[in-house]
Structure 1
Amino acid sequence: MMDVAVHDRLLRRYPELTKVVRQPGTPLPSTLRLGLTVVLGTRARLSSPVCRADPEGCVVFIEAALAPFSWTLSFLEPGLRSLPHTADVLGG
């Protein structure tokens, strides 16, 4: 997910993510949420940041999916909400 995050902008905004990847047990920044859900189908997909807006609010997330799972990284900045229908795998 960090690789498709629009020309390293994700790492510039969250430099601590390098430590999260290199040092197991390092927590994600409080404004990020790692989610997991089940997906159907046989195609894999990677997405750079996507905005999904509905009457309940706006969600911005990155996704890496390969059936049967989809990993999502949601941005929890003010005004944004986490991606619904995903389990918070870090228990935050």
Structure 2
Amino acid sequence: IVDDVFDTGLTIQSVIAYLGDRARLNTPHDIRVAVPYYKPTRNKTGKAPDYYLHETEQWLKYPHSLEGLSVEEIARHRPELYAIIEDCL
């Protein structure tokens, strides 16, 4: 399973549980997890990804995400989206 970040681990845990529910006896015994970013202190599952590139506790800003951006940052870096939301401000 590949994800963008292993933070609390709850997303991966849910995916593995869903896979087990759907695949039943056909569920692979060896399910591995790969992520570019791993946040070990936020982990709530007791499991860690099998493969990761960076261990961090920093807030991650992805180009496709608006979360954590100020209105000014959206206006500057994502003007097409700012045009949509500016009437709501």
**Normalised by the size of structure 1, how large is the TM-score?**
0.22
Computing the radius of gyration from Cα coordinates, the structure with the larger value is 2
More helix by share: 2
Q: Which has the higher contact order (CA 8 A, sep 6+)?
A: 1
**Normalised by the size of structure 2, how large is the TM-score?**
0.22
